Structure 1
Amino acid sequence: MRFAVRRLLPVLAVAILAGACAANSAEPGPAASAPPAPAEQNLAGVCPATVVVQMNWFPQAEHGGLYRLLGSGFTVDAERKVVSGPLLAEGGDTGVRLEVRAGGPVTGFQRVSALMATDQSITLGAVATDEAVQEAASLPTLAVFAPMDKSPQMVMWSPEQHPDWQHISDIGRTDTTVVYSSGASYMDYLVHSGQLKQSQVDGSYDGGPARFVAEGGRIAQQGYATNEPYQYQNEITAWHRPVRFELVHDSGYPIYPEALAIRADQADTLAPCLRRLVPILQRSTAAYLREPDTTNAAIVRMVRELNAGYEYSADRAAFAVTQLRELGLANDGRTAVVGDFDPARVTTVLDALRPVLTEQGHPPAADLTADAVVSNAFIDQSIQW
């Protein structure tokens, strides 16, 4: 859903440096080992002994299905910014370990596709559709599972200051400044499509609320529908009132955010693993949306012990789950299958980005198609919401 600085608070860099000196988690979880998973969910000898997943931020509810696979017996390495433990399928030990690496400030905001290209130990990485299209020539990846159907990326504004706005395009009919994190591809699309003007977009957003609050909500700002609406109304004492927003998805930019992808050249090698692992991800994601509380408590603990530099509260995680459900972020209703891709949507993103990237001097290959970017080959169509 980017590339953009995500929820970066001004103290984040300092906190991360301090966290590098911290010890590993003091709460390692239960010592008792889990019973073995059924044979069809046994990943030993089929998947890498440690399945490594590179994320582009710290743990959060949007990826609850992934973190649910760690159960409660995980450990946190505050220095390496890693959460790890036995990979569980419905409480059964699959015979391999899962290591989830934080990203964003931890990795200098490098794109996950770039990290995957340089670190062969990474099995899966969180790569949004637009990133995959942009990097298809030099850093090709293939998404095999979509934790979310829609991106929570949004543009938000104050309903008090701008009561007539309903859509992002309404902002573009004014000269109001829209603050975002430089490098965000969706903003290039919004400008190129005429919904916003180049003269009004400002790429200086640092992830904090200070400017929006200081301006009294007269500006518009990027955000995430799973985060800022709760944060601004409940946690930012200088604001403490609602914001309104439109999803970038609804502007005609329907990416799959942070889909789990492999390096494209690993498709054949990892196929036996993915045939068992992806259905496990599907089931865990659906189960998380039904009963999120235990995993949310684990995510809150992970963020705290990773010394992420900000507090992720149980209430904010619960709000994120509500938004995932009510805004169709988890399931847009087009199919009942958990985690699958609509190739037509990927083609829409490719068509939207092609003129933008061409104008910027690095067009995607003329023969690039959706099936080079996403694959439903490992999705179990019987696993449904």
Structure 2
Amino acid sequence: MFDATRPAHAPTDHPKVKMGRVGVLIANLGTPDDYTYWPMRRYLNEFLSDKRVIDYPAWKWQPILQAIILTKRPFSSGAAYKSIWNHDKGESPLMSITKDQTAKLRAALVERYGDNVMVDFCMRYGNPSTRSKVRQMVAEGCDRILFFPLYPQYAGATTATANDQFFRALMEETWQPSARTVPAYFDEPAYIDALAQSVERAYAAMDQQPDVLVCSYHGMPERYLMQGDPYHCQCAKTTRLLRERLGWDESRIVSTFQSRFGPEEWLKPYTVEHVAELARQGKKNIAVIAPAFSADCIETLEEINEEIRESFEHAGGETFTYIPCLNDEDAHIGALAKVVEDNLRGWLD
């Protein structure tokens, strides 16, 4: 336990306070508390009301969201969540995996830094909230917090909005801790190596090698790229570094983008269409990996492994292999710990 002490040079009657610790707060997108209508509606309302996610003017977007989308989508999204729900634990797979990641990362960092570091997690949308975890860390004596959004590639709709919420939480603290945010780690060698190891393990277990490895990244409107968001470029570099680490030529791997929403043009090629085109081209055996996701979630377990798989098979594809996210694999935890250690320099050495 980290005990409260009297601040240096304080009078003897000064109350003891907890201070001197470093908090490491990892953050992911979030999850509904349940797949039934009202929890789904609350979650979707928070998510789709975020101006970083949908940047249309509120006067135009909110009537559509509240009157149309949120009356129907909680049912369809709830059914999708129910199909992947961790019923034993009463939570989504993203929640279960994030808890496991946090426990392993905590063990690795405490082994190195001892009780000087406190490791926990929060969600941008839903629970546990960023605000509640910042409050807890400050109460437990963290006068420095390293905030770590678990998105390898930076995007305004993921990394930036997570950081926004962290800064909002800091605004509520009377005595603000010092703060750092972890930058994108899309080209971190340990992360690339962890991805490559997951591919090598999957391929070693197959009777027939896939014709193509599809790196399916979460999509975004093309307009965001034109406005200066680096996400597309960072995704392309991740794929290239993975290919080079595997020692493959360019014909064996491709980048695509999934989860299109709304009427705008999004980053291309679209995964759901491209896998069908691969099947029509005679690429009957493919594998799909999702390098933009640090943990399996609705977009991987339901969208990739069901909707995108179905598109491939309906177009004549024969063997579809989904390679799981890195989740709490030891190589992944080692990569995350390396990123944390690099960003703690000067605070904890």
TM-score clears 0.5: no
| TM-score (normalizing by structure 2) | 0.31
Q: Which structure dedicates a bigger proportion of its chain to helix?
A: 2
Q: Which has the higher contact order (CA 8 A, sep 6+)?
A: 1
Bigger Rg, structure 1 or 2: 2
